Amino acid sequence: MPPLPRCAIVREVGLRDGLQSIATVVSTERKCAWVRTAFAAGLREIEVGSFVPARLLPQLADTADVLHYAKTLPGLSASVLVPNLRGAERALELGADLMILPLSASHAHSLANLRKTPDEVVAELGRIRAARDASGRRTLIEGGVGTAFGCTIQGEVRPAEVLRLMQALLDAGADRVSLADTVGYADPAAVSRLFEQALRIAGDRLCCGHFHDTRGLALANVVAALQLGITRFDASLAGIGGCPHAPGASGNAATEDLAFLLESMGVDTGLDLEALLALRAQVAGWIEGEPTHGALWRAGLPQTFCPARARA
Amino acid sequence: MPPLPRCAIVREVGLRDGLQSIATVVSTERKCAWVRTAFAAGLREIEVGSFVPARLLPQLADTADVLHYAKTLPGLSASVLVPNLRGAERALELGADLMILPLSASHAHSLANLRKTPDEVVAELGRIRAARDASGRRTLIEGGVGTAFGCTIQGEVRPAEVLRLMQALLDAGADRVSLADTVGYADPAAVSRLFEQALRIAGDRLCCGHFHDTRGLALANVVAALQLGITRFDASLAGIGGCPHAPGASGNAATEDLAFLLESMGVDTGLDLEALLALRAQVAGWIEGEPTHGALWRAGLPQTFCPARARA
C-alpha cells in the first residue's frame, strides 16, 4: 500500500448535506448543540448550512443563526454552501470562513438542480470572487465539482469534462476545488484515476473528496484518494444525506465510520471517537424516524482501538 | 493505485457463515434453490454448510443434502466447514471439493469456540491430511486462520502468532490457507501489512480473504488485499452473518456489494449483478425479520454500470 498521509481532516457536512435531504426540521438550538459537541469532539471544519431561499429548504432557514454561533468557537472553520452570488453576499456579510459553490459536471443535473449550465456556474464563481475581493473579507471560495463520477439523470459524465470545469473554476478565481461523487457511482479505481489527473491540474488546491455511500463504496473510495495524498473528506454523522432517487439508500459517508477508518490506519484526525459516537446517538434521536446509516455505532470500537495520536 | 488483478473469485459463504448466525432455519429445498440460483448468477465457489453436530447448529443439519445437490452442478466447487477430523471424514465420504478447517489465532477465542488450543487445531489438520491422503479423495484442505486482526475476547492477536499458525497449518498438510477478520477489527493498513507478510510465507497458497463488515470497513479491506494480488474473497448475500457480541451489527461483506465493487473496478468476477440482486431479495424474504445488510440492493446498479468482461 502506498504510504498514507499522517493527518487528515474530516469535514462535517451533516448540518447541510444531511439535513437538506430529510423532512425533519432540527431546531436552531439543537443545531448549535450539534456544532458545539462536534467541536468538543475535535471537529474543526463544519459546514453549518446553506444560503438558499428558505422556501426551497426550510430545514436550513436558520443558517445565519447557526453560522453566528459557530463563529464563537475559536479555531472552528465554519463553511456554508452558496448556490449563487446572492448567497455568497450573505456568507461574506456574516463572515463565513469558507463558502462552497456547487457545480454539477453533469449538464443535465446542473440544469435540473441549479437551473444553470456548468459554465454559467463558473461565471457566477467569477462574480463571487469579485465580490469577495471587493468586500475585504477573508472568506475562502471552494468550487465543489459534483456528479464527478456520473449522474443519475445524464448517466456518464466524462472525466475530461470534470477536469475542464475544475480548471475553469480555478481560472475564475476559486481558491480551491473539491470533487464529489454525489450519487454513489464512484469506485476506488475511478477515484484513483480522476483524482490523479485532478491533482496534476490543481495540486494542493484540490482540497477535498466528498463520497456518498449510496452503493457501499464510500470508505473504499476515501482510501483510494488518501493514497494519492488527499487529506480532507466530507462526511455526515449517522451518514445522513440520502439520495432522492433511491429512497432509504445510504447518504454521505458516516463521520464516525470515516474517523474510525482513518484513525485505525494511523491517520490522525484529532477526533475523539467515543465523543463522536455519543453525538451520533444524540443526532439520531433528534431525527427519529429518518433513515440513518453507518456500522460502528452498533458494534462499538474494538477493544484494541488506539487513536493515531497515541501511537506516535 | 497499484495495478489490480484482472479477475477475482467471490466465494459465497452465506449458507454457512450466514445461516449459522441466525435463528431462522431455511429449508433444504430453499438452500438448494439458493445454490442453484447463485450458480446461475455465475458463482462457482459456494460454502454449503458445516459438518458440526446438529444439536449445536440445527440450521446446518442438512449440510449433507445441500452438498449432495451442489455436486450435481458441473464446475461448482462446493466447500464445507469442518471443525475436526470427524467432520472431515464426512466431507471426504460425501466428496466435498474443499473442506475448511477454522483455526482461531486468538487462544482465548479458540478455547471458547472450538474448545481446543490453536496448536491442537494444527495437530487436527495433520490428522485430516492423513485421512484425506488415505481416502484417495481429491478434497482440498484449507486452513482458515480466524481472529487474524484481533478478537473480542482476548483483544490483541499478534501478527507474529497469526503467521506462525499459518505456517504450522501449511507444515501440517494444508493445501492452502486463508486469513479472516472474524470480528471486524481489521483496517486497510493492517490488512496490507499482514497479507504482505503472509504472502511471503505462503505465496499463492494464501488463497482467500474473509472480511466481516462489523465496523463498515470490509470492502476497503478487500481493496487493500486485492492490491497485493489476493484474488478470492468470502462474502454472503445480504451480508448475513452478524456478530454474537454486537446484536444487529453487520456480518460478512455482502456478496452483491463485493461483486459490484470488483466489477466496477474492472476486476472480472464472472457474476451477473442483476441476478445476484434478485437472489438477494429472495434470500432476504426467506429470513424475514433477521437483520440484513448491504447498500447496492436499495440503490440499484448505476445507469453507467458496465461489467468488467464487457470492457475488454
- Which CATH number goes with the domain that contains A165? 3.20.20.70
pLDDT in the model for residue B1: 85
**pLDDT confidence of A113, banded at 50, 70, 90?**
confident
Distance CA B147, CA A274 (A): 24
Distance CA A98, CA B61 (A): 61
Which of the residues A7, A151, A243, A306 is marked catalytic?
A243
Distance CA B253, CA B223 (A): 12
Minimal CA–CA distance to A252: which of A154, A194, A181, A165? A181
Q: Three-state DSSP class for A277?
A: helix
Per the DSSP assignment, residues forming a β-bridge with B100 are: B81, B142
Distance from CA of B292 to the nearest CA of A (A): 12
- Residue pair B40/B12 in contact by the 8 Å Cβ criterion: no
Asked whether the CA dihedral B110, B163, B194, A189 is positive or negative, the reply is negative
Distance CA A258, CA B296 (A): 19
**pLDDT confidence of A1, banded at 50, 70, 90?**
confident
With an 8 Å Cβ cutoff, are A150 and B303 in contact?
A: yes
Longest dimension (CA), chain B: 54
Asked whether the CA dihedral A121, A126, A132, A138 is positive or negative, the reply is positive
Tell whether the model's pLDDT for residue A27 goes beyond 90.
yes
Residue of chain B nearest A190, judged by CA positions: B265
Mean pLDDT of chain B: 96
Question: What H or E segment, with its residue span, contains residue B259?
Answer: helix B255-264
Cβ of A312: how many Cβ atoms within 10 Å?
A: 8
Kindly list the residues from chain A whose CB atom is less than 8 angstroms away from the CB atom of residue B156. Answer: 304
Kindly list the residues from chain B whose CB atom is less than 8 angstroms away from the CB atom of residue A273. Answer: none
> What are the CA-CA distances from residue B252 to residues A106, B4, B222, B307, B308 (Å)?
35, 23, 12, 23, 24
In whole angstroms, how large is the CA radius of gyration of chain A? 18
Per the DSSP assignment, residues forming a β-bridge with B101 are: B143
Q: What residue ranges in A84-235 does DSSP mark as E strands?
A: 98-104, 140-146, 176-181, 206-211, 232-235
- Answer yes or no: is A277 within a domain: yes
> What are the CA-CA distances from residue A151 to residues A96, A106, A181, A186, A280 (Å)?
30, 6, 9, 10, 29
pLDDT in the model for residue A90: 98
With an 8 Å Cβ cutoff, are B264 and A302 in contact?
A: no
Distance from CA of B206 to the nearest CA of A (A): 18
- Answer yes or no: is B3 within a domain: no
Per the DSSP assignment, residues forming a β-bridge with B11 are: B234
pLDDT in the model for residue A245: 62
Distance CA B229, CA B200 (A): 12
Give CA A51 to chain center in angstroms.
Answer: 15
Active-site residue flag, A207: no
Establish, for the pair of chains A and B, how many residue pairs have beta carbons separated by less than 8 Å. 145
**pLDDT confidence of A311, banded at 50, 70, 90?**
confident
With an 8 Å Cβ cutoff, are A227 and B295 in contact?
A: no
Distance from CA of A107 to the nearest CA of B (A): 16
CB contacts under 8 A, B 230-259 vs A, are: 243, 246-250, 254, 257
Taking residues A119-145, what's their average pLDDT? Answer: 98
Distance CA B121, CA B104 (A): 9
**What 8-state DSSP symbol labels residue A304?**
T
**B294 — contact with chain A (CB < 8 Å)?**
yes
- Residue pair B212/B181 in contact by the 8 Å Cβ criterion: yes
Q: Three-state DSSP class for B235?
A: strand
**What 8-state DSSP symbol labels residue A59?**
G
Q: Spell out, as residue ranges, where chain B has pLDDT lower than 70.
A: 243-248
Question: What one-letter code names the amino acid at A149?
Answer: F
Per the DSSP assignment, residues forming a β-bridge with A241 are: none
- Answer yes or no: is A2 within a domain: no
**What 8-state DSSP symbol labels residue A307?**
-
Angle at A197 between CA A191 and CA A201, to 5 degrees: 135
Its pTM stands at 0.97
pLDDT tens, residue by residue, B140-195: 999 999 999 999 999 999 999 999 999 999 999 999 999 999 999 999 999 999 99
**A8 — contact with chain B (CB < 8 Å)?**
no
Q: Three-state DSSP class for B56?
A: coil
> Could you give the number of structural domains in chain B?
1
Cβ of A23: how many Cβ atoms within 10 Å?
A: 10
Per the DSSP assignment, residues forming a β-bridge with A100 are: A81, A142
Domain holding B62, by residue range, is 9-311
Taking residues A61-75, what's their average pLDDT? Answer: 98
With an 8 Å Cβ cutoff, are A190 and B264 in contact?
A: yes
- Answer yes or no: is A4 within a domain: no
pLDDT in the model for residue A247: 66
Question: What one-letter code names the amino acid at B186?
Answer: A
**B21 — contact with chain A (CB < 8 Å)?**
no
pLDDT in the model for residue B245: 62
Angle at B115 between CA B113 and CA B119, to 5 degrees: 105
Longest dimension (CA), chain A: 54
Q: What are phi and psi of A47, to 5 degrees?
A: -85, 115
pLDDT in the model for residue A243: 63
Minimal CA–CA distance to B168: which of B147, B137, B143? B143
Distance CA A136, CA A160 (A): 35
Burial class (CB in 10 A: 0-12, 13-18, 19+), B90: middle
Minimal CA–CA distance to A216: which of B99, B191, B86, B280? B280
pLDDT in the model for residue B305: 97
Taking residues A13-40, what's their average pLDDT? Answer: 96
Mean pLDDT of chain A: 96
Question: What one-letter code names the amino acid at B75?
Answer: G
At A97, list the grid cell.
Answer: 470562513
What crossing angle do the helices spanning A159-171 and A188-202 adopt, rounded to 10°? 30
With an 8 Å Cβ cutoff, are A302 and B217 in contact?
A: no
At A115, list the grid cell.
Answer: 437551473
H runs (alpha helix) in B78-117: 85-93, 107-114
- Residue pair B81/B60 in contact by the 8 Å Cβ criterion: no
At B262, list the grid cell.
Answer: 470488483
Cβ of A115: how many Cβ atoms within 10 Å?
A: 9
Asked if this assembly's ipTM is beyond 0.85, the reply is yes
- Answer yes or no: is A1 within a domain: no
**pLDDT confidence of A246, banded at 50, 70, 90?**
low
CB contacts under 8 A, B 124-153 vs A, are: 150, 152
Distance CA B191, CA B266 (A): 22
With an 8 Å Cβ cutoff, are B2 and A2 in contact?
A: yes
Share of chain A above pLDDT 90, in %: 94
Mutate to test the interface with B, among A219, A222, A268 (most CBs of B within 10 A): A219
- Answer yes or no: is B4 within a domain: no
Give CA A234 to chain center in angstroms.
Answer: 4
pLDDT in the model for residue A248: 67
Cβ of B182: how many Cβ atoms within 10 Å?
A: 29
